[in-house]
Structure 1
Amino acid sequence: MSRDRSASQSSDNLTLADFFSATDARRDRWSRLQACAEAYAAGRGDRAKLASEIGALFAEMEPLENYWAYPGTGLMRALRELAEGRDAPGFASAVHRIKTAIFSSAYRRDPAAWNLEEESGDMSFADRLPPGMAPDVAQRPYFELLTVAPESARTNQPQRELRKLRRPEDPFTYETVPTFTFEDALVATIVNTNIQAVVIYDGFQFKSRHALPALGDLLRRHGEIEDDGMPRNYGLRLASGIKKIRPELDVYLVSERGVEEAATSELSRLVRRVFYEVEELMEIHLSILAGVMERYETPYFDNLKKYAARPVGTFHALPVARGKSIFKSHWIRDMGHFYGANLFLAESSATSGGLDSLLDPVGNIKEAQEKAARAFGAHHVFFGTNGTSTSNKIVVQALCRPGDIVLIDRNCHKSHHYGLVLAGSQPLYLEAFPMVQYSMYGAVPLRTIKQALLTLKAEGKLDKARLVDLTNCTFDGHMYNCRRVMEECLAIKPDLIFLWDEAWFGFARFSAFHRRRTGMGAAQAIEEMLASASYRDAYEEWKSKMKGKVGDDLDPNDPALLDTRLMPDPDRTRLRVYQTNSTHKSMSALRQGSMIFVRDQDFVHVEEQFHEAFYTHTSTSPNLQIIASLDLARRQMELEGYELVLSSIDLALDLRKQVNNHPLISKYFHITTPGEMVPREFRESGVEDYGRPNASWDRVLEAWENDEFALDPTRLTIVTGRAGYDGTQFKGLLASKYDVQINKTSRNSILVQTNINNSRSDVAHLLKVLADVSRDVEQRLAEGGAAAQEAFKARVKALMEDVPDLPNFSRFHEVYRDNAKSGTSEGHMRAAFFSAYREEQCEHMKLNHPDVDVRIQKGPPLVSANFVIPYPPGFPIMVPGQVIEADTIEFMRKLDVKEIHGYNASLGLKLLKPEAISQRATSKKGPAPEL
């Protein structure tokens, strides 16, 4: 065999997508290399062609393998020697062995994997098996250390000395990934998910010696190349770039000059420690282990394990604690066998013994929450054990006061609406852009939010505007440009508070691509921006262009402001951002595990009422296992979240590509593209779809940076209507016949999500299901003849074309408004909500009763007494106090879903009686009482 292509030639095949899904791309190459090597050794196929492919693959892979510790330069050199020595069987065997070690992660635990001459002790997949199916062998976690040093250290690396310091008593084991340039260090950070720490030495070069065409674009997209192609400051600038991509990594700086200056510079906050040259080699080694241990430790879970191992006598009100009531039972012992002893040993209703109290944490829960704050980029984190429905109500009740105006997406989760009822605040409902063809809403345009704020200002009510409450990303994957939304809103009202409901988006923190679209990520970026001298100069220049009409002097009646990029005043802006997260929905936490993230400069002023709201909604008997799982979810995401999230994104991209390009499946099913889910007016970039040939990844990332809305690739709306299935039908079919579970449906679609739990096998299974269903449809149409085909065509038309219009929020009845002539729509929903508690003030009317249409046309108006929320689509189409109009009734009549919260078909619509409305109008004096 001979390698007939140089590394520079072969690298032309590399694309930015390879870096986006580096782990799977790398595995695919090793699989292809193994298949070709074994075929060549066995004499199968065209040997010249196989030799050429082997040479091309090997040349392509060799520079990339520099970014991983295994197999490393030594084993790659041995492979090259086998290939050039024409030892085909030896080459095939070595490739198979290395490939197996990479796939099974055997190199993490088996020293023999690092030597092709040794017999392997363990090349199995045992570490992936569930408990009880794998050998119970104590195994130290493995990670890789990235070192960046000058080229002169290539033959005499100080990094090698670190290996010699490893001891059997160390809690972890690691191997080094040596790099010698700025560019290679960043690429390794991006593609090597095993890296947990970085040691940066003085004197390294900038340009990579590897000819990777995509490398420059990759680094420019991460903002790490200056106009002249060089960084401003090598060591600290590299640290900044690494932390921007993977903020969880520990970075250490080793310098032979100016360590005092480096340790006190502005960027030094990004570095865990600064060392003087190599005089502290053991300290560097111990610091590396301590840094990883800090992320590995789970204060609450660790204490819970210790508690479970103690011989505790329980005299509190929790019979299942210690499990005696279970394992002594003659009738429910199978409960113990199913769940295992540890579940019960780790239960208690007491907060003593080191378990701490969720309501007043001072020990390990407090420490666990502080670790979560660091991991998720917040100032404070609060654990929730009652789901994010409760977390939302806590935040709304803590921040909002009776009479406050809250700008809120009408399609927010119902917990926000109920939170406003509890707080007595007035919702000013904002309408998201509609996607009528799929019977779903998107997200609220920034122009709509600005218009509401400017109208409030024009009417002298801006001081009552307290909170902007939005869902990010939406169930269907619409990601806000959180930074731009907050910047422009703060330019109008500098003390506005923001609540981002990111229930399904917690994973986004651990993706360098998604992070910019999160509330916490945007808040950090704005904080840094406002504190910079360059922004202050830019603001003064913009203020001059606006002729001083900024802040309080903005003209709210100037229509040009809606199309003007507004800038917040760095001297007046108070950044107050809250984010709720259903940890259990995108991370490895138990059901109902939730977190509240706080990044609020004025939290001290609301801290007391925040705790009061937390006490109001949090159980005094929280589930200890949920708390522990939140602690563990944080650990996992800090140590391997980057890898897991990249994998889930890659799976989604693959599924999207396979479905939309399959000759049979695409006849009946289609995964909607960003161009179909986000109207063109909100996509300045013009990106229509992800991946080649639609758009290069640098264009996609630019779109995520600048477009008003972007589509999360892990949310896949599969249109089922062309196969003759409505969403509910198809969801039932998937569950009953194919054992596939999904969450959400619409009239003609289902939502499929990939997450850190999914594998390529899952994708293959779903593709097979879609192919099988497509074949069934084809067969039915072929066997049924013209009649069946006509019926099918009519069914598809009904699902895809004859869709009901989506109703907007109409208005609150004037008796629930301070000023019926106001240009904004806020109202006192709490008063209407509790009016429904008086049976004599309510009536019911069947949906198809003729009086419904008469009253809509002639009055008296129909006023909803409660929330009405159809599932799907899952947003309230009626709220207490809302005047019901014709479009809402028409939508209700066309709905073919069975689950409608707040509506009993046997009774009909629940309405407030006209006389009750009249009575309130008569007695009303000023604003409706809300307390």
Structure 2
Amino acid sequence: MAKDKAAAKPSELSLADFFSATDARRDRWSQLAACADAWGAGRGSSDKLATEIVTLLDELEPLEQYWAFPGPALMRTVRELVSGGDAQGLATALNRIKSSIFSGSYRRDPSAWNIDEEAESNFADRLPPGLASEAAQRPYFELLVVAPESVRAGSGASPRELHKLRRPEDPFIYESVPVGSFEDAVVAAIINTNLQAVVVYDGFPYKSRHALTALGRLLQRFGIEDDGMPTSYGLSLARAIKKIRPELDIYLVSERSVEAAATSEQSRLVRRVFYEMEELLEVHLSILAGITERYTTPFFDNLKKYAARPIGTFHALPVARGKSIFKSNWIKDMGQFYGANLFLAESSATTGGLDSLLDPAGNIKDAQDKAARAFGADKVFFGTNGTSTSNKIVVQALCQPGDIILIDRNCHKSHHYGLVLAGSQPLYLEAYPMVEYSMYGAVPLRTIKQALLTLKAEGKLDKARVLDLTNCTFDGHMYNCRRVMEECLAIKPDLVFLWDEAWFGFARFSPFHRRRTAMGAAQRLEEMLGSPEYRKRYDEWKAKMKGKVGKDLDPNDASLLDTHLLPDPDTARIRVYQTNSTHKSMSALRQGSMIAVRDQDFHKVEEQFHEAFYTHTSTSPNQQIIASLDLARRQMELEGYELVMNAIDLALDLRRQVNSHPMISKYFHILTPGEMVPAEFRASGVEDYGRANGGATWEKVIDAWEEDEFALDPTRLTVVTGRAGYDGTQFKGLLASKYDVQINKTSRNSILVQTNINNTRSDVAHLLKVLADCAREVEQRLQEADAVEKEAFAARVKSLMEDVPDLPNFSRFHDAFRDSVESGTSQGHMRAAFFTAYREHDCEHIKLQDPQIDERVRSGPPLVSANFVIPYPPGFPIMVPGQVIEADTITFMRKLDVKEIHGYNASLGLKLLKPDSLGKRAKKGAATDL
């Protein structure tokens, strides 16, 4: 995964080429053009340069067969220019091809495909609106045609014949990429990000004529192997491509029994089946119809039509149509800044084609259905109040007063507040700590299973309703969602799962991240539980367990914590909810969020879900946010694969550059998977990404992501700043004020850098320069410092990197808020504690440094928090309402050097529930005032 792609020969198609294909390709074309320029200008040895050019072409050509541009004709022209010794002509040709690849001009300019014609030399596709030509351009894509040589040479599948089908009225324009084998088709699907559709003919072989050893190993990781049945290669290829890029439309053209192919179980993988090429135009039209289905944005399209209509507004929204702004003497600059369309597309009405978010029956419903398809869900609901609200909606819909909710104590505060509103009892689960970086990882599966088994032993398993976890965590810890749900369902087959994937919505569009997502795991579980193979496996396991499974599982059997438990296919229900902050990882406006549902029993909670949605959703939702969610879905379905793979590649490059740079790495370091995930949760042994410095190849990483309990999202980069003498907050401020670099999260001695679909190689270069400049400044200060200053710097580094406070675990709820003080689990009635604090006479304040704090910790009466206390960083609640505050929490609070602590006023001190109030409540009962 390291950026060693330039060193690998493309003819061998290393895995590095697959995951950074666009940049690797551009780098090679740049190198070719540079050599041709030198040859044309007479710089260096002509023979040596010509030889290097031929070598580079030999390396490039196997990769270029998977792209439509420049195509065989231009490649032949380039070869002829080389063999003819035309150095000037070659330089011109290669620079034009390179320019077209970089700018994408071949998508819109036919002359780019012919060296002899004048081509555009601008980068219009890359410029923002207002800086580029506004002329309408038909979107361009590429079509993969998989067929044996005999068919590709005939009239049906040749690019020339498909080109003849183009019509001026077609909404899109495409070029075809012909390949002749199963393996070549998979390579094309992986590296050609322009592909949007695949036409598959019968009769092609499995093996490529190129050396594809790495590909064979990769396919095995995806469960794809040569079944030795050439007659079924078409459907097998469809299955393979869908595992990697589920968004692609696949069309099967068969000369055998198309009726059987169209009705087989695997036919759901293909969009349509054709008999030979009897309907070539229908194939063409079907391809365009498939792209149109993904391209169409129901709500946004209607919003544009609405904005173009002459509408008189007599509703409560003065900014609608913009008259109050554009006619104003004082706020015209608002209109100039935002433009007319923003106001023309505003309305508080739900008529005129705009639909209602609260009760969608038209284009919003259609947009949500398309999002469900894109994200692998049964249903998707749009949110315009952020994922904080989405989380509260799901919690309220699923949870009732008295229910026990297993929840990561470090999850976003919206979950905690949601439980207060629902009146459910949180059973807090502890993630493993990373004390040296003042952050937590994720909750071990063993911890979750122990909680469920303890509840079962105490006869309370029926009250356990939901498992609520954050995936991936702020710092990049990805759960093995499939394994977690699989083993939990073996203990409680109707357990509901809420996965907060606020920062992880993009993961659906990476074939590697997808396996670590809630919806990806839910799909795999559904398929697994419904298969005959799994039933056989379960029966064998049940016999091995001597029948002690399901209801007969012995909760006191400690060996179960280390046993891979299997759910009963007859009783397990897949009930999965996923929330994602679309605006945090996709091109949606701020507060745009989605709730994805894959719940086999949704009909049982549908009414209460809608009630919760009504409760928390504004009756005046922002139309532009809804439209941006619609558009974000379109973008991710049509180019999400390319954008996400690029973000991953940038992250890997940044990791390698920082950790290997002699100056930067002296003061800054990006934490590796080995440093972020303890060895006990990494059975694969993968320590780092990339071959350099003992890291792992992508093949090993795929294995790790499939089986390890936790894996690290490479796009989350924890940059340790403590060795440079900066705490996280301090360095965040420096980046923003001096270098115009913005980041979100910090810890005591680190900052979190994220790459996303918005980033470019220029961004990476800028950050690297900033880190290099900062490192040099530290180095220079130390060189010029006297002994006292050096000692002070060393002490600062020690305080940040070594003298770090222990991270406090959740202690327990006070007995006044617990149903049973003898219980082996820690759940309590947090809602009752929360609202007790509303009564001033039941509360007291004690300053943090007051000696009575320490006395009461030692001797009582206990300190009981009246509210949530959430320091930023680290951003998790170190106190919740009703929690008994112990010494480790006090020590942590006293060592905190952050300015922002929600729920704590330093001038007043800790807000506590009075002991006499707690005594009265204990007599009344824990659930009082729920």
By the TM > 0.5 criterion, same fold?
Answer: yes
Paired position in structure 2 for 1:30: 29
1:590 and 1:626 in contact (8 A); partners too: yes
- State the SS of the aligned residue for 1:233: helix
1:36 and 1:54 in contact (8 A); partners too: yes
Paired position in structure 1 for 2:904: 903
Name the CA shift for 1:386/1:9 in 2 (closer, same or farther; >3 Å): closer
Paired position in structure 2 for 1:518: 517
Deviations 1:732-752 (A, max 9, x none): 000000000000000000000
Give matches, 1:664-675, under 5 Å. 664-675=663-674
Tell me, in whole angstroms, the C-alpha distance in 1 between the residues paired with 2:755 and 2:46. Answer: 41
Tell me, in whole angstroms, the C-alpha distance in 2 between the residues paired with 1:776 and 1:508. Answer: 38
**TM-score (normalised: structure 1):** 0.98
Paired position in structure 2 for 1:771: 772
1:259 and 1:276 in contact (8 A); partners too: yes
Tell me, in whole angstroms, the C-alpha distance in 2 between the residues paired with 1:929 and 1:865. Answer: 16
Aligned AA (1:143): F
1:575 and 1:600 in contact (8 A); partners too: yes
Deviations 1:263-299 (A, max 9, x none): 1111111111111111111111111000000000000
2:12 and 2:210 in contact (8 A); partners too: no
Give matches, 1:357-396, under 5 Å. 357-396=356-395
Aligned AA (1:904): N
1:471 and 1:502 in contact (8 A); partners too: yes
Paired position in structure 2 for 1:3: none
Name the CA shift for 1:759/1:808 in 2 (closer, same or farther; >3 Å): same
Counterpart check, 1:218 vs 2:228: no
Paired position in structure 1 for 2:810: 809
Return the offset for 1:86. Answer: 2.0
Tell me, in whole angstroms, the C-alpha distance in 2 between the residues paired with 1:744 and 1:379. Answer: 33
1:39 and 1:45 in contact (8 A); partners too: yes
Give matches, 1:196-595, under 5 Å. 196-226=196-226, 233-595=232-594
1:422 and 1:830 in contact (8 A); partners too: yes
Name the CA shift for 1:232/1:164 in 2 (closer, same or farther; >3 Å): closer
| 808-817 vs 34-43, which moves further | 34-43
Deviations 1:71-115 (A, max 9, x none): 111111211122122222222221111111000000000000001
Return the offset for 1:10. Answer: 4.6
Paired position in structure 1 for 2:131: 133
Deviations 1:315-337 (A, max 9, x none): 00000000000011000010000
Deviations 1:874-903 (A, max 9, x none): 000000000000000000000000000000
Deviations 1:518-541 (A, max 9, x none): 000000000000111101111111
2:144 and 2:179 in contact (8 A); partners too: yes
- State the SS of the aligned residue for 1:879: coil
CA RMSD of aligned residues (A): 1.3
Paired position in structure 1 for 2:99: 100
Aligned AA (2:837): A
Deviations 1:158-206 (A, max 9, x none): 1232221110000000000001100000110000000000011111111
Tell me, in whole angstroms, the C-alpha distance in 1 between the residues paired with 2:75 and 2:815. Answer: 77
Counterpart check, 1:796 vs 2:794: no
- Consecutive unaligned residues in structure 1, runs of 5 or more: 1-7
1:206 and 1:230 in contact (8 A); partners too: no
1:151 and 1:205 in contact (8 A); partners too: no
1:11 and 1:212 in contact (8 A); partners too: no
Q: 1:154 aligns with which of 145, 152, 155?
A: 152
Return the offset for 1:858. Answer: 0.4
Deviations 1:621-647 (A, max 9, x none): 000000000000000000000000000
Aligned AA (1:146): L
- State the SS of the aligned residue for 1:158: coil
- Give the aligned length: 920
1:11 and 1:211 in contact (8 A); partners too: no
Paired position in structure 2 for 1:178: 178
Aligned AA (2:191): V
Counterpart check, 1:862 vs 2:863: yes
Tell me, in whole angstroms, the C-alpha distance in 1 between the residues paired with 2:490 and 2:586. Answer: 35
Deviations 1:581-637 (A, max 9, x none): 000000000000000000000000000000000000000000000000000000000
1:651 and 1:754 in contact (8 A); partners too: yes
Return the offset for 1:769. Answer: 0.4
Return the offset for 1:341. Answer: 0.4
- State the SS of the aligned residue for 2:411: coil
Paired position in structure 2 for 1:119: 118
Tell me, in whole angstroms, the C-alpha distance in 2 between the residues paired with 1:290 and 1:582. Answer: 30
Return the offset for 1:229. Answer: 7.0
Tell me, in whole angstroms, the C-alpha distance in 2 between the residues paired with 1:699 and 1:99. Answer: 34
Return the offset for 1:14. Answer: 4.1
Tell me, in whole angstroms, the C-alpha distance in 2 between the residues paired with 1:431 and 1:640. Answer: 38
Aligned AA (1:384): G
Aligned AA (2:703): E
2:487 and 2:564 in contact (8 A); partners too: yes
1:110 and 1:123 in contact (8 A); partners too: no
Q: Which runs of 4+ in 1 moved over 3 A?
A: 8-14, 46-49, 228-232
Return the offset for 1:15. Answer: 2.0
Aligned AA (2:152): R
Aligned AA (2:126): R
Counterpart check, 1:874 vs 2:863: no
2:871 and 2:902 in contact (8 A); partners too: yes
Name the CA shift for 1:372/1:666 in 2 (closer, same or farther; >3 Å): same
Aligned AA (1:762): D
Return the offset for 1:12. Answer: 6.1
Tell me, in whole angstroms, the C-alpha distance in 2 between the residues paired with 1:404 and 1:675. Answer: 38
Tell me, in whole angstroms, the C-alpha distance in 1 between the residues paired with 2:13 and 2:255. Answer: 37
2:11 and 2:63 in contact (8 A); partners too: no
Aligned AA (1:291): G
- State the SS of the aligned residue for 2:785: helix
Aligned AA (1:696): T
Tell me, in whole angstroms, the C-alpha distance in 2 between the residues paired with 1:609 and 1:488. Answer: 28
Paired position in structure 2 for 1:644: 643
Name the CA shift for 1:791/1:9 in 2 (closer, same or farther; >3 Å): closer
Deviations 1:761-809 (A, max 9, x none): 0000000000111111111111122222111111100000000000000
Aligned residues with identical type, % of pairs: 79
Paired position in structure 2 for 1:168: 168
Deviations 1:114-151 (A, max 9, x none): 0111111x231011111111111110000000011112
Return the offset for 1:930. Answer: 5.4
Paired position in structure 2 for 1:5: none
Paired position in structure 2 for 1:728: 729
Paired position in structure 1 for 2:4: none
- State the SS of the aligned residue for 1:279: coil
Paired position in structure 1 for 2:3: none
1:199 and 1:253 in contact (8 A); partners too: yes
Tell me, in whole angstroms, the C-alpha distance in 2 between the residues paired with 1:47 and 1:672. Answer: 47
1:12 and 1:213 in contact (8 A); partners too: no
Tell me, in whole angstroms, the C-alpha distance in 2 between the residues paired with 1:814 and 1:32. Answer: 71
Return the offset for 1:11. Answer: 4.1
Return the offset for 1:921. Answer: 1.3
Paired position in structure 2 for 1:600: 599
Give matches, 1:614-633, under 5 Å. 614-633=613-632
Name the CA shift for 1:232/1:704 in 2 (closer, same or farther; >3 Å): farther
Paired position in structure 1 for 2:705: 704
Aligned AA (1:377): G
Aligned AA (2:790): Q
Aligned AA (1:840): H
Return the offset for 1:216. Answer: 1.9
Tell me, in whole angstroms, the C-alpha distance in 2 between the residues paired with 1:151 and 1:673. Answer: 47
2:11 and 2:62 in contact (8 A); partners too: no
Paired position in structure 2 for 1:738: 739
